[in-house]
Structure formats: structure tokens, C-alpha cells
Structure 1
Amino acid sequence: MLSIRDQIARRSLTPGAKLPSIRAVARTMRVSKSTVVEAYDRLAAEGVIRSRPGSGFYSAAPLAPLSLAELAPRLDRAIDPFWVSRQSLEAKDEVLKPGCGWLPGTWMPEEETRRALRSLARTKDMAALTDYGTPLGLGSLRQLLSRRMAEQGFEARPEQILLTDSGTQAIDLVCRLLVQPGDVVLVDDPCYFNFLALLRAQQVHVIGVPYTPAGPNLQLFEEALARHRPRLYITNSGLHNPTGASLSAGTAHRLLRLAEDHDLIVIEDDIFADFEVEPAARLAALDGLDRVVRIGSFSKTLSASFRCGYIAARRDWIDKLTDLRIATGFASSRLSEELVFCVLGSSGYRKYLEALRMRLGSAMVAVAARLRSLDIEPWVMPKAGMLVWCRLPHGLDAAEVARHALSEGVVLAPGNVFSASQTASGFMRFNVAQCMDDRIFAVIEKAMRQAA
């Protein structure tokens, strides 16, 4: 029977689990008992189930390999975050990617990166090029991050910072430490789509809370806390992904009071911090790294090829996270950490960021105007950054528009990719830095006509 095979594939039916009785299945599926008997006999002959006389039927199949696609709802591939990620990462150079979440390579700090590579190549300390990194990561980089965080208003001593291979690995490690399968985790709705993919791998229950231009809807957030008793909340509190909105100070203070009242832990993904012109409220700064864990990386502003992220958290959590880091990755990438330290510590990087912010500000205004000419309206105009969340006209389905655009060599990011509740079908996220080619807007206009 397909339903039993499907439950085994999804791991909801584990070895030794008792199956519904023949009478119950016949009643539920509205078939005769003889039909169910025949199906059960066939599954037993194949070794999928086992009969225990006087007791019933039990699953006999081994535990299926974990398949993230099987754990997810059966979504159209145009709104599957794994599919969108693969299209963006595997796309050939001629494919246009206004739906991806990173800067074009030509916008990155090329000269600073080349200078760092040359400097490291000339080093006499071969350990920097050949040895494993330390469990916590490069000390000089952790000290630099500690000073940067102090400039942003909160204290994180170097021993409270653990370096990771990426921001994604940072979240994964924190989730491994703090949640168990079956726990409830809150996310913004919409949120960064890889949060949803990663939490799927953790086999937790994900609850989305509608996001507003000032942060999560606090009334619905409080209701979700009372109803679901979540263990964790994951968010971007600087420049939000995908909306580009910024957390207000009032919302941040109220959110932290609710978190304390309900014993909620918060992961604050601050990966877009360097894009900000005027820093927004930070939960980690207000909380002092008590129940807030801050994570980040340098893939958005420095290089996606330098695989380096970080976790800033309570010292006792860092100790446990370090053990997990060793168990899952053994050691950090010292080469990447040395390169990141070399670039971040240079005066050229600060000058690059100043120029980048101005360039992105101009691009945001220009792209928003082009989108409005197509009746695509920004949900909110971001104060900085590269992402803008837009409402499509005439009730168009963003997934349908994305399908037509892909056939023309343009990768888009339809709204339901980012929505736990699947209520963002009329929205789409655009990366203004990736929208500099006029062909994109011609393709979008054509795709909207085809989807209408």
C-alpha cells in the first residue's frame, strides 16, 4: 500500500511500529476488508511488514535514509528552496540571477582579496597554510570580531566566539545543541528560505509568525508562544531577509521581554550587518548574549569562497558548541580564517564598504523604479542592503512567473519559498545588485503576461 510505503520513506513509520488494524484501514480508506488483507499479505511477502498472530501487523522495514525532500510538503519545484538554491548555484555565467542572495563577483573587494592572498602566500609560517585550525578558531580573528561587536554596542569576549565554516553551519550547530526532533521553532513569515530547509533537517515543527516593517507581529508572536511553547526563534534583526525591513527598538525590547517570560532562546542571524548605513536594534546587544545567540559570516560582503562564519554566545554554550564543532567538522579552516582576518583588518575593506553602501543605495532606487514601472510594488523600501520584497500585480502567482522566467534564462525567487505558511504566492524577492541587466525586466514582463 502506497500510504505505508510513503510513511516509511518519511520516517513517520519506524521499525517495529504497529500498523492500524485491517478493520480500521478498511473503514478509513472505504474499501473492503478483503482488499486490505490482500495488500497487507503482499507487503508481508515483500518483507515490508510482519504479522504477529493475535497482535496485529508491524513495520519490518529498516529505517529509511533521511530525505529532506520527503520530509517537506509536496511543493511545486518552482517554490522548493532546494531547487531555487541549486538553480542559482549551478547556473552558467550567461544565466541572470535576480533571485539569488549574494553580490555579483565584480562587486566584491577584489583588490583587498588579492592583496590578502599575496600576503598569505609570502608568509614564513607554513602552519597557516597546512595545519588544522584550533577548536575555537583563529585567535586574532576572534579578537577582531570581539572589537567589532563592542563598536556595535555589546560585549562578546574572544572566548565567547566560535568560528565555523559558514553562517549555515553556525545555525546548524546551535540547533543541534538546543533543540530535539519534535521541538517547536518559530521563524518569521516570510524568512530566509534556508532556515526552513535547515530546520527540516533537524526534524522540528516550524511555526511562522507574520513579519511587519518593524519586526515580527508581536500579538501573533505572543499567541504562538502561549500556544506552541517553542524552544527557539530564528530571525534576522538587522536587514531582514527577504523583506529588507529593519527591526525597531520598541519591537526588539518587547520581543526580549516575551522571550524571557516564555523561556525562549533566540538565534539572531546578522549576516547583513556590514550593509547597514544606520545600524538597527540588535537583540544580542540588548540581551547581552544571555538568551540570544548571534551568528554571522562574511560570504555576502567579502567572499563566498572564504568559508568562515562565527557564533557569539554564552561561554558555557560555546564549550558545548566547540565539542560539536570537533565532532562534525573536527577543526576550523585556518586558511580561510587567515584570509578573512587579513581583509577585515585592512583599511581598504572599510573604504570598500563605504563605496558598496552608496552603490547599493543607488541600485535600490533605480531597480525599485524599474519594478514599479511593471506594477511590481516594494512591500517596504529597505534602508540599505541588496534585497527588496515586492508584491506582484493582478494577483499573479509568483511561482508561475518564475517558471516562465527560468525558460528565458532568468532565476527568480518566488514568495512561497520564504513562507512557512505558504501564504506569499503573490510576492517575490529581488536582489538589486543582480538586476543591472535590462534583459531581466523584459523577461519579467513577458513572464507576467504568460502567467496571467
Structure 2
Amino acid sequence: MKERRTRIDAVMEAVRTRIAARAYPPGARLPSVRAQAKTLGFSVSTVVEAYERLVAEGVITPRQGSGFYVAGPIAPLALAEIGPRLDRQVDPLWISRQALEAEPDGPKPGCGWLPPSWMYEAGMRRALRAVARADSAMLADYATPRGLPALRQVLARRMAAAKVEATPEQIMLTDSGTQAIDLICRFLLEPGDTVLVDDPCYFNFHALLRAHRVNAVGVPFTPNGPDVAAFAAALRDHSPRLYITNSGIHNPTGATLSPATAHRLLSLADDSDLVIVEDDIFADFETNPAPRLAAFDGLRRVIQVGSFSKTVSAALRCGYIAARADWIDSLIDLKLATGFGGSQLASSVLLAALTDSGYRKHMETVRTRLAGAMLRTVDRLAALGITPWIVPQAGMFLWCRLPAGIDAADLARACLRDGLVLAPGNAFSQSHSAGGFLRFNVAQSEDGRGYDILARALAGCGN
């Protein structure tokens, strides 16, 4: 009897989850009891009882001769319920919450940003003082729809140095890199479309794509970029609308795109309707710049986005989109519809910081510090049996394989109890094939307390 109650509860939870994820919207007819029983692998009588209990709770309503329907107003969108259910402690959104809510001085090698002391604090203070002396319009008014012209000119010159040809009119400022991708998704996607992502990739791509209710398909990532044969197969089998990637330093692997892979990707894209979104947020961390798809493509079917939250200040929310001029015009309309005017204050401070004489020296110092931290992190992890997938040429990320038999999610949960925030591999993997991996931020891995906690947790998980 207890086992049957458990089965009934499982059916009820499955229905509630689909309602929360809006797979069953208000007024939608539920699958028949026979169809639901076949789908879930339970008896018809179990599903009938589960439906009746959901009716009693007011979750669904019966209609004579027609079936069961979702009742009530539209349920709030619950991103955590969309897609395969991960333990809430290790899904992408929970990792972000843990890192953002952690104690300021606590060890958090799982976060994706530099420590505050590594950021451009001196330049930010100078920039803030300079902007504070500006006229009242700069301090209080909306920005123009495209964003501050002087900053767009600086961005165009920076892109030209990377062989990406974009006029200031082809650049639109946004409130962040994430908003940039969100606007592109609103512009190009419909619910049910397919988007290709690297496997593994930046975990917030998964969360954002769930919010747009599209199908994400992972393409295995190699030290030279996405697996070209798998990419071609995904194009053939899924007819994707978008592919989102990093061409510079890849998150989470630290790998860089090779010229040969870049050319082959664009050749495949030319034979399809695919649009490529190239996230260039880590450009200033590079010591030897990698190829840019936007440079080879000329912004025909490649859109480049970026921001400076990793190098100047995470508190300064300002990003950009570089795309075809006709697409920028439509993206401006979307920006106005969803956020109206951008932050003229933020873009003015960013302009002052980027054009400050100290920014180049600041980034030289950061790159040197990261190189040293990378070597130290590799050595200290090796003592625990944790090995890098590759040792990146630059950047802050180290994608690491755990000792055999250790599950990254279990390890993360154990470490979290002692205040150590980790980033387990399956949060980055669409196929959930990275259960034995962790991403380490080497700039956040200098605290010896983290290694002590990690060593104890490894010992516990290994028992």
C-alpha cells in the first residue's frame, strides 16, 4: 500500500512540475489517463487516483466526457523545473546564488569573476570622479537608443584591432553581456526553436535558453573548439537557429578556437540558416589573441557581444552587441520595449575607465597574476589527485577531472556545508556527461582554506 502511495505521489509531482514549467499551461488538457500511464510507466488506476487527488487540491479540473484540464491562473515561471531535474544545490542558477551570497572573505573557486582586489579599482575611482564633474544631462538623463557615441567609437576601434570590422552604428550598448544575449534570443528565436551550445559551456547559457523555452543541443567541445563532425551532424539533425559560443578564452575549459576549426564552422554555417553569437567577454585576458568568427565572417551571420564586468568592475553593468546594421535597428526597438533607455551614467564611467592611461597596465598586471595563479592551482590540485583537462594559455578558468569514482555534485554539496563554493561539471554540460569535472577559477583559488575543505570532502566522498 505504501508503494502505491509513492507511485501516486510521483504522478502528482510530475504533473505539478509540468504545470510550474508551463509545459501544461492554464486551460490545457492533460494527457489521458492511459497516455499518462504509458508515459510514466505506472498503472492506469495509479494515474486515475493521482488525477483525482489533484482535482481535490484544485490543481486540475475534470470535464465530463472530455478529460482533465489545468485549473487556475498562469503559474509563475519556475526555471529550475524546466529540463532535466538537477539537485537544486548544483544547478546553474543555484551555483550563481551560492557564489553571489557567499561570505565576502569565504573561498569560492566556483565563481566566475576576479576578486575585488584584482579589479580596476583605482581607474574606477578616477572615472567616477571625472563623470561626477560632467553636466547634469550625463548624470540624470536617458542615453540615446544606440548608447553613448564616444564609447561605441572606442569599441569599434578595439574590435578593429581584433580584425572585426564594425562601424559605431553597428554597435548597440546594453546593460550587460547577458542582456545582449537575451535581446538576441528575443529577436531571432521562437519557443521550440533549437540552439546549439558547446558541451560544456557557460552554465548561464542553459538557464537563459530555458527562459526562452527553446531546445538546447550540446556539441562536444575539444581543445581546438567544437567537434566539427558533431557540429555538422547537429546542423543536419536539428536545423538550429542559433549557436552560442566563446571564440576567445572558452568558459569553462579555457581552450581557444583554432583557425582551421573557425573556417570549417563558418563553411558549415553558410550552408544553413544558422546565426552565431560570439561572446567575447574574456578578450582582454588573452596573451595571444585567438581567431574571431566575427572577423572571418564580417558580421554577416555572426553577432558579437561582450562586456567589461570581468576586467573593469562587475558593479558597472554595461555590455554591447555588434551586428549587421539592419539587425541593430530591430534590436534597438527590442531594447526600448524591454528596458527603454540604457544607463548613460554606466557607459560614461566605462568610457572614462577604458580610456584611462592606467587600464593597459592594469590588464598586464592581471594577466601576470593569473599566469602565476594558474601554475599554483595546478600544483595544489595535483596533490589532491585533481588534473586539468588542458592547461590554458591564459584566463582564469581551469577545467579539471576529479579522481575516479568521485561525483562532482556530491563533492560540491559536501564542500558547501563548510562554506566552499564549487562549480560541478554537469551544470555546464547539456548532456550531463561531465559529472567527474569541476571548473576552478584560479584567481579565487589562492585561499588555503579551500584546499583543506576540498581534501576532507574528497576523503569523505571516496569512502
TM over 0.5: yes
1:251-304 per-residue CA deviation (whole Å, 9 max, x = no partner) reads 000001111112210000000000001100100001000100000000000000
Counterpart in 1 of 2:107?
96
Shift in Å at residue 216 of structure 1? Answer: 0.4
Matched, 1:112 2:123: yes
Pair 43,336 (structure 1): closer, same or farther in 2 beyond 3 Å: same
Pair 107,55 (structure 1): closer, same or farther in 2 beyond 3 Å: closer
RMSD: 1.8
Matched, 1:252 2:262: yes
1:121-174 per-residue CA deviation (whole Å, 9 max, x = no partner) reads 222x11111111111110000000001111111211011101001000000000
Counterpart in 2 of 1:306?
316
Matched, 1:208 2:218: yes
After superposition, residues 118-129 of structure 1 pair within 5 angstroms as 118-123=129-134, 125-129=135-139
Structure 1 contact 133–334 (Cα < 8 Å) conserved = yes
Matched, 1:442 2:452: yes
Matched, 1:147 2:157: yes
Unaligned runs of at least 5 residues, structure 1: none
Pair 426,36 (structure 1): closer, same or farther in 2 beyond 3 Å: closer
After superposition, residues 213-292 of structure 1 pair within 5 angstroms as 213-292=223-302
Q: Work out the CA distance in 1 between the residues paired with 2:185 and 2:392.
A: 29
Q: Work out the CA distance in 1 between the residues paired with 2:193 and 2:304.
A: 21
Matched, 1:365 2:401: no
Q: Work out the CA distance in 1 between the residues paired with 2:127 and 2:38.
A: 70
Q: Work out the CA distance in 1 between the residues paired with 2:440 and 2:179.
A: 25
Q: TM-score, normalised by structure 2?
A: 0.93
Shift in Å at residue 69 of structure 1? Answer: 1.2
Alignment equivalent of 1:62, drawn from 65, 73, 90: 73
Counterpart in 1 of 2:199?
189
Matched, 1:18 2:3: no
Q: Work out the CA distance in 2 between the residues paired with 1:77 and 1:21.
A: 31
**1:347 is paired with a residue of what secondary structure?**
coil
Shift in Å at residue 41 of structure 1? Answer: 5.2
Pair 25,160 (structure 1): closer, same or farther in 2 beyond 3 Å: closer
Pair 190,27 (structure 1): closer, same or farther in 2 beyond 3 Å: closer
Q: Work out the CA distance in 1 between the residues paired with 2:406 and 2:53.
A: 46
Q: Work out the CA distance in 1 between the residues paired with 2:199 and 2:404.
A: 22
1:400-452 per-residue CA deviation (whole Å, 9 max, x = no partner) reads 11122222221111111111111101111111111112222222111111111
Q: Work out the CA distance in 2 between the residues paired with 1:24 and 1:71.
A: 21
After superposition, residues 372-411 of structure 1 pair within 5 angstroms as 372-411=382-421
Matched, 1:326 2:329: no
Counterpart in 2 of 1:423?
433
Q: How many residues align?
A: 450
Matched, 1:348 2:358: yes
One-letter amino acid of the structure 2 residue matched with residue 253 of structure 1: H
Shift in Å at residue 324 of structure 1? Answer: 0.8
Alignment equivalent of 1:71, drawn from 52, 75, 82: 82
Q: Work out the CA distance in 1 between the residues paired with 2:197 and 2:98.
A: 24
1:330-349 per-residue CA deviation (whole Å, 9 max, x = no partner) reads 11111110000001012210
One-letter amino acid of the structure 2 residue matched with residue 438 of structure 1: G
Say which is worse superposed, 6-15 or 263-272, in terms of deviation.
Answer: 6-15
Say which is worse superposed, 316-325 or 438-447, in terms of deviation.
Answer: 438-447
Shift in Å at residue 6 of structure 1? Answer: 3.2
Shift in Å at residue 57 of structure 1? Answer: 3.8
Shift in Å at residue 394 of structure 1? Answer: 2.3
Shift in Å at residue 246 of structure 1? Answer: 0.4
Q: Work out the CA distance in 1 between the residues paired with 2:336 and 2:277.
A: 21
One-letter amino acid of the structure 2 residue matched with residue 250 of structure 1: A
Pair 53,211 (structure 1): closer, same or farther in 2 beyond 3 Å: same
Shift in Å at residue 26 of structure 1? Answer: 6.0
One-letter amino acid of the structure 1 residue matched with residue 143 of structure 2: G
Pair 270,51 (structure 1): closer, same or farther in 2 beyond 3 Å: same
Structure 1 contact 8–61 (Cα < 8 Å) conserved = no
Q: TM-score, normalised by structure 1?
A: 0.95
**1:78 is paired with a residue of what secondary structure?**
coil
Matched, 1:170 2:180: yes
Q: Work out the CA distance in 2 between the residues paired with 1:27 and 1:422.
A: 26
Shift in Å at residue 73 of structure 1? Answer: 2.1
